[in-house]
Amino acid sequence: MKNSRIIRTLAQKLLPFIFLFGFYLTFHGHLSPGGGFQGGVVIATAIILLTLSYGIKETENRFKEKHLSVLEKLAILAFIFLGLLGIFFGYPFLKNFLPLGQRGCIASAGLMIPLNLVISIKVAAGMTGIFYALVKYRGEI
Amino acid sequence: MKKYYYIVLLIIMTILIIGSISPEYGNPRNMDYINYYLEHGVQDTGAINLVASIYLDYRAYDTLIETVVLFMAVIGVTFILSKGK
């Protein structure tokens, strides 16, 4: 099933801006309200919008479910690896081992940016996976 | 035998719950750790956003388990929905 051409074109044009907003929320998580979970959900809504306007088959050609599930598992492993990396430098598990930097800059607060990025990738892949499962097995889009 | 086991378990649980209730819970004198976060949070973690400094630095282990919980939710949804077909 396909929607009208206006909806499809608008969804296609809006997609990069929604991605941009999601990554903005993710990378400014230690400076302003937001963070990994919220940014991940915003990124997932972009793919959900694409699914609602184009249908599940054309969306799966771009964002395959296999790749998303692999990405999700890799993100959890990366989180645990980042925690274990502190042990090699002589700190406790998940302790910040990078330099803190200047307060208020984006490149500050050490380990928070990688952790936020990993969380946002994981949440985006997970939410999209749930939506794909709902559409594939119970829906008619 | 099983009955006595549950009765003993209930008694232990009630003792623990009664022991953990403190009548001075809302007293501002007992909020030392909240004041610690407010005073030392920016110096310790380098993040301006205090919420991020708590959930990614002081309580990072909690965040790790939270992501694992979401992972389990995704696995459960896909497993239950794909079972019908």
Please give the pLDDT value at position B12: 94
Residue B25 C-alpha, separation from nearest chain A C-alpha, in angstroms:
29
What pLDDT digit, counting tens, does each position of B40-57 carry?
A: 888 888 888 888 888 888
pLDDT for res B54 = 87
Q: Tell me which residue has tokens 């019908």.
A: B84
**Which of A56, A81, A112, A135 to mutate to test binding with chain B, by most B CBs within 10 Å of its CB?**
A112
To the nearest whole Å, the CA of A38 is away from the closest chain B CA by: 12
Burial class from Cβ neighbours inside 10 Å (0-12, 13-18, 19+) for residue A138 reads exposed
Min Cα–Cα distance to chain A from B47, Å? 5
Cα separations (Å) of A6 from A1, A10, A15, A51, B77?
15, 6, 14, 15, 33
Answer whether A117 touches B (CB < 8 Å): no
Who among B46, B71, B82 is closest to A133 (CB)? B82
Residue with tokens 């829906």: A139
- How many helices and strands, by DSSP H and E, does chain B display? 4, 0
Tell me whether residues A72 and B64 touch, CB distance under 8 A. no
Contacts of A63 (CB under 8 A, 6+ apart): A47, A50, A128
Domain count for chain B, please give it: 1
Any A CB within 8 A of B61 CB:
yes
How crowded is residue B17: how many other Cβ atoms within 10 Å of its Cβ? 9
Of A130, A129, A131, A135, residue with least CA distance to A68? A129
* B49-A97-A78 Cα angle (round to 5): 85
Contact flag A130-B56 (C-beta cutoff 8 Å): no
Per-residue pLDDT tens digits for A50-107: 988 888 888 888 888 889 889 999 999 999 998 888 888 888 888 888 888 788 788 7
The whole-angstrom separation of Cα B73 and Cα B75 is: 5
**B contact test, residue of A30, A91, A128 with most B CBs within 10 A:** A30
State yes or no: pLDDT of A121 exceeds 80: yes
Those of residues 65-104 in A touching chain B at CB distance below 8 A are 72-73, 75-76, 79-80, 83, 93-94, 96, 100-101, 103-104
- Under a CB-based contact definition with an 8 Å cutoff, are residues A131 and A51 in contact? yes
**Most confident range, picked from A119-123, A132-136, B54-58:** A119-123
Tokens linked to A140: 């008619």
Identify the segments of chain B with pLDDT beneath 70: 22-30, 84-85
Round to whole Å and give the CA distance between B32 and B25: 12
Question: Domain of A32?
Answer: 5-138
**ipTM metric:** 0.80
Residue-wise burial string across B39-54, b where 16 or more C-beta atoms lie within 10 A, e elsewhere: eebbeebbbbbeebbb
Chain B touched by A137 (CB under 8 Å): yes
CA B62, A117, B41 angle in degrees (round to 5)? 55
pLDDT band (50, 70, 90) for residue A141? low
Q: B66 is in which domain, residue-wise? A: 2-82
Any chain A CB within 8 A of the CB of B4? no
Total domains in chain A come to 1
B76, B69, B45: which is closest to A122 by C-alpha? B69
3-state helix, strand, coil split of chain B in percent (to 5) is: 80, 0, 20
Partner B contacted by A133 (CB < 8 A): yes
